[in-house]
Amino acid sequence: MRLATWNVNSVKARLPRLLEWLAETAPDIVCLQETKCAAEAFPVAEVSELGYTAAAHGDGRWNGVALLSRVGLADVTLSFPGEPGFGELDGVGAARPEARAIGATCAGMRVWSLYAPNGRTLDSPHFVYKLDWFAALRDALAAEVAAGLPVVACGDYNVAPTDADVWDASLFAGATHVTPAERQALAALRDLGLHDVVPTPMKGPHPFTYWDYRAGMFHQNKGMRIDLVYASGDVAGRVRSAYVDREARKGKGPSDHAPIVVDLEA
């Protein structure tokens, strides 16, 4: 079985590339992030022609997540229990959760596609929101792990787990994505028994998954590993291989992220 996760940075802008990649790579389950697409506008018909059932969560602005599966898609959950919101208020004066999480049961696994808040700057309310979001995610996943469910939580976590996961740690001093608080949030997920499935890089020693569009960062391999696959032990034990599909970051009009592809024993 093949599982993949990819921040596509607009599913509409990337649709021809996405469809070509799906046809060539043939993943059974796909987690997409930053779709920037309202749920009702997600290209369900196009992916269904390739054999996928789709579920999407989005409001048509930033953010947006989706799941594609050709091995079943049941018990779809938009957002996770207790997920905090930011900005826009609902009818009772609470901030609405953004379109950052969608979960479903696929082939007996509980699969999540996640797009963590960026955090912006260390003194921003968005950074507090990011840490609160991770704390709530930890609680939600803890309940599923405690229930004995095989769990895999994939996506753009917007955190580099270690200094080795950025091209030059000294350049990130005082910035988000590398702070002890953010890394502790990841550690809290691993403390649940989730395993970081680290992919093999296709070039160089570092399995970077994101390269800024500016200043030739991709060609210089000045990247970050911020797209992650966290899997419970029963899923992690089935991993045969995992790799960053760097080729998908090349060419005309790519996303600034590359997909991670994980092959599991059936």
What's the CA angle centered on 123, arms 120 and 127, to 5 degrees? Answer: 45
Active-site annotation holder among 28, 52, 245, 257: 257
Q: What is the pLDDT of residue 93?
A: 61
Q: What is the pLDDT of residue 207?
A: 98
Q: What is the pLDDT of residue 18?
A: 98
Q: What is the pLDDT of residue 57?
A: 98
Q: Is 263 a catalytic residue?
A: no
Domain span at residue 213 reads 2-264
Residue 230 burial by Cβ neighbours in a 10 Å radius (0-12, 13-18, 19+): buried
Q: What is the pLDDT of residue 95?
A: 86
CATH of the domain at 155: 3.60.10.10
Q: Is 257 a catalytic residue?
A: yes
Separation between Cα atoms, residue 179 and residue 88, nearest integer Å: 27
Q: Is 115 a catalytic residue?
A: yes
Inter-residue contact 236 to 228 (CB < 8 Å): no
Separation between Cα atoms, residue 185 and residue 175, nearest integer Å: 16
Active-site annotation holder among 28, 52, 57, 115: 115
Separation between Cα atoms, residue 53 and residue 69, nearest integer Å: 5
List the pLDDT tens digit at each of the 266 positions of the chain.
999 999 999 999 999 999 999 999 999 999 999 999 999 999 999 999 999 999 999 998 889 999 999 999 999 999 999 999 997 666 566 788 999 999 999 999 999 999 999 999 999 999 999 999 999 999 999 999 999 999 999 999 999 999 999 999 999 999 999 999 999 999 999 999 999 999 999 988 999 999 999 989 999 999 999 999 999 999 999 999 999 999 999 999 999 999 999 999 98
Active-site annotation holder among 28, 57, 129, 156: 156
Residues forming the annotated binding site? 7, 34, 156, 158, 256-257
Q: What is the pLDDT of residue 94?
A: 78
Cut 0.85: pTM above it: yes
Q: What is the pLDDT of residue 60?
A: 87
Residues forming the annotated binding site for Mg(2+)? 7, 34, 156, 158, 256-257
Count of domains for the chain: 1
Pairing outcome for strands 65-69 and 101-106: unpaired
Q: What is the pLDDT of residue 44?
A: 98
